[in-house]
Chain A
């Protein structure tokens, strides 16, 4: 749907298949684990078997006796890798600096030693032979218990909270107050208020107050974390091949951790086998340090079990939510306590959750508190729209339930109350131009929503059908970016960026160049440079790759065009304003015989004795205006009331993408995120035992959606142009994951007349909601 008339474009806005697609269908694309360097050592990690324990001693004698085992490295050794001899791992209180656990392990699976060996199997044997003596310490796993006074501390007090991953995704305009005074497990707390919530609740015709939970989950990338680092002692050069969404972030983290000069550090972001927020810097500083210590290349590829257990999953959340509504559907007040489990190192998105959870609707009165709580679980990282799906699950169930109790149409109620351009968020900051209204409108006009009564009528005694709706969104990340575009001698164009292409962004980049230079896609090559060869670009994260780097490239193309015009104007003795770029030539408008081919132009800027300077367009942008992207998702479910099993029958995702530069890849991202939302809604969950050991550390038990589990998804693109994105584009990647879990929960409630209070909605939780197991305490409206 085009909601505003827009200019005619020749290239952007068209469905294009990937320009470099062949590499990925023939096995030619090189991912980090594919990299082999001569003389390379293989690294395997020794993990703590305890959720919280003091490391009394680490004895590597037996491991070192194994044929092929070269070194066993522990935290105390890292001083050898740091330029000034300092050791970041000593008493580290953020995960980034804790290359290996020092003195104590704070979650099950935390790496405590690294074994380097000539072969992976020797390294594995070495791991078995390292003898670590632990003194088990009291652990805390439960979020509520962890917040109580007198709870055991999950870890020593935190001195230096690292929010870099969260900030990689969203640019937040709030201050987080960090815990001070008496040590507690609450690592940070943020608070927003508006109006008078008591007065708001007093004028409500209905108030729903519930506690909602959502599970910790893996980002689900199929490629486990992998890093290769190659330190050359003779030259002091350090090269790192990383599976990362942000090679410059890896570079900067290694630089800060090891105090390594960036002139001697090259980070190569390989093809990435999925990240979804989970692939930032995790093991890169560790592997870099190991290579420096060993004086040889080192490769570390996590096993799937290690990746699930000890990488950086998305946090669980516990949200107490009280909301009020009047009979006419208008909202009165919201009071939210949003608690994220950070695991054992801080970095959970408390501020995001509290802010986004209370900003998408016009709440006249609000009080929102976000807490980040430490427990002895693996520390969390980002995911698509970190924290948002947890918050939307809570808010959207409350909205739905209020509408149900007042006998109002839950779709109309949303449309009546959603935030509009210029409305304040909970922080007071005003929304830039947004298309939430248009998005909800499309959703509630969709047949899946319109025909929901007919769908419900398909129900039988034991198969109850329901339709659910939920909204979600993401504010969008901001980060400066630069790019370069060069005219080749044959008149084609090469461009260099520093951002990893995961989903097809290079194709969209080429479309931008084709648009601005009026040439075809096959005349364009996009190269992803490394940190030594590419101009700076931020991460492929926060839904901002195209939003920021695309803008830089567009500026670079315009710069190149202007330079071409300058040369052509001089040669053709014409005014630059009278020139046009068409059919691979710069010509004087209206007199096509006065023209200079792009190849001719290029040779005049490069040949021996050529008179003009080489044509290199550069673009550099600062991104300051966010472009929030919203989604509304619809799902039809069938609930088996005997087994509690939920089957997904139909799914539609509506999303405002501002402008779809390549609708084919936009749909792909929307559908991928939507299916992740289905996983959140029905299947994906970290399950721990009472000792803090993960019980489902494999892909059989940690169940991600397969092709057979999910229905065809209908993608509906809304285009409300953003103020600052290229051609009006908004970030696409993140909104898509934010609403599926909530929509499924609402569909289940529609089907069975009772709400699951926790997602994923496993059969047991559904039966509990139905009252057939447990105490039936989760019936609707309780």
Chain B
């Protein structure tokens, strides 16, 4: 497939990308831009490990063709902290012991951030439903739910 040039705006910076147009956003972000925070757990939209924000909405980047994300604002986990200062959600995940192996965490944190954007004061059930697209195998979810709750309540 002939390669194409297009521009992706990731974490506030424009990146010119030269790649095959059938590459997923996840592949381009990881392999071309070397932002490896987004993870591939399945490649089929079922685990949420590849979650990024596109124009503030959560997207499973394994299912999006990279050229389709051109002209939009993409946020990956690398773009969430403000310099040295972690995003409150990142800090809450540390403080609540919500991180074990960490593989689900970038996607989980971005989903949580988007969840609170949409619903600033969710109930515990709403939190659980809100992150149901992000599988975590290590934590049993409780400490993740508590981290999100603490940010919502602050």
Contact = CB atoms under 8 A, between A and B. Distances in A.
A708 B129 contact: yes
Given A222-B136, A274-B137, A699-B47, A27 B38 contact: yes
Contact of B86 (A15, A18, A22, A31): A22
Nearest to A663: B97
Contacts of A704: 135, 137
A273 B99 CA distance: 11
B51 to A, nearest CB: 12
Given A18-B99, A26-B37, A220 B77 contact: no
Most chain B beta carbons < 10 A, residue from A15, A24, A28, A31 = A24
A28 B37 contact: yes
Contacts of B97: 15, 17-18, 504, 664-665, 667-668
A224 interface: yes
B122 interface: no
Interface stretch (A468-476, A630-638, A672-680, A768-776): A672-680
A711 B58 CA distance: 25
Contacts of B39: 31, 33, 222-223, 273
Contacts of A301: 40
Contacts of A220: 137
B138 A698 contact: no
Contact of A21 (B46, B99, B103): B99
A24 B78 contact: no
Nearest to B93: A25
Contacts of A665: 97, 100
Contact of A27 (B77, B124, B127, B132): B77
B44 A698 contact: yes
A276 B100 contact: no
A592 B43 CA distance: 62
A611 interface: no
A271 B20 CA distance: 30
A222 B41 contact: yes
Main secondary structure on A side of the interface with B: loop
Contact of A304 (B31, B41, B80): B41
Most buried by A among B41, B49, B76, B137: B137
Interface in B73-127: 76-78, 80-81, 86, 90-91, 93-95, 97, 99-106, 109, 124, 127
B10 interface: no
Contacts of B109: 25
A708 B38 CA distance: 23
B144 interface: yes
Interface in A114-150: 121
Interface in B119-154: 124, 127-129, 131-145
B36 interface: yes
Given A222-B47, A676-B137, A26 B36 contact: no
Contacts of B78: 26-28
A589 to B, nearest CB: 37
B146 to A, nearest CB: 9
Given A274-B137, A668-B139, A675-B141, A17 B95 contact: yes
Main secondary structure of the interface of B (DSSP, over half): loop
A668 B93 CA distance: 12
A17 B94 CA distance: 6
Contact of B42 (A25, A272, A698): A698
A713 B86 CA distance: 28
Contact of A222 (B34, B94, B103): B103
Given A27-B106, A223-B103, A502-B100, A303 B140 contact: no
A43 to B, nearest CB: 15
A708 B142 CA distance: 11
Nearest to A507: B97
A36 interface: yes
A222 to B, nearest CB: 4
Most buried by B among A18, A27, A668, A673: A27
B103 A700 contact: no
Contacts, number: 178
B100 A503 contact: yes
B113 to A, nearest CB: 12
B126 to A, nearest CB: 10
A273 B34 CA distance: 18
A667 B36 CA distance: 29
B46 A273 contact: no
B61 to A, nearest CB: 13
Given A22-B86, A668-B143, A700 B37 contact: no
A31 B106 CA distance: 13
Nearest to A698: B44
B85 to A, nearest CB: 11
B100 A700 contact: no
B99 A24 contact: yes
A22 B142 contact: no
A610 interface: no
A583 interface: no
A700 B44 contact: yes
A79 to B, nearest CB: 33
Given A27-B76, A700-B44, A276 B137 contact: yes
A224 B46 CA distance: 14
Contacts of A453: none
Q: Which of B90, B97, B144 has the most CB of A within 10 A?
A: B97
A59 interface: no
B36 A273 contact: no
B103 A31 contact: yes
Contacts of B128: 707-708
Contact of B140 (A221, A276, A304, A672): A672
B86 A707 contact: no
A575 B78 CA distance: 54
Nearest to A220: B137
A31 B105 CA distance: 13
A700 B144 CA distance: 22
Contacts of B40: 33, 224, 301
Nearest to A272: B101
A700 B138 CA distance: 19
Interface in A204-220: 220
14 contacts: A22-B94, A24-B99, A34-B30, A221-B103, A222-B49, A222-B103, A222-B104, A223-B49, A273-B39, A274-B100, A304-B46, A502-B101, A675-B140, A707-B136
Interface of B: 20, 30-31, 34-44, 46-47, 49, 76-78, 80-81, 86, 90-91, 93-95, 97, 99-106, 109, 124, 127-129, 131-145
Given A222-B49, A222-B104, 18 more contacts: A17-B95, A26-B78, A222-B47, A222-B137, A271-B101, A304-B44, A502-B101, A502-B138, A671-B140, A672-B100, A672-B137, A672-B138, A699-B41, A699-B135, A700-B44, A706-B131, A707-B136, A707-B145
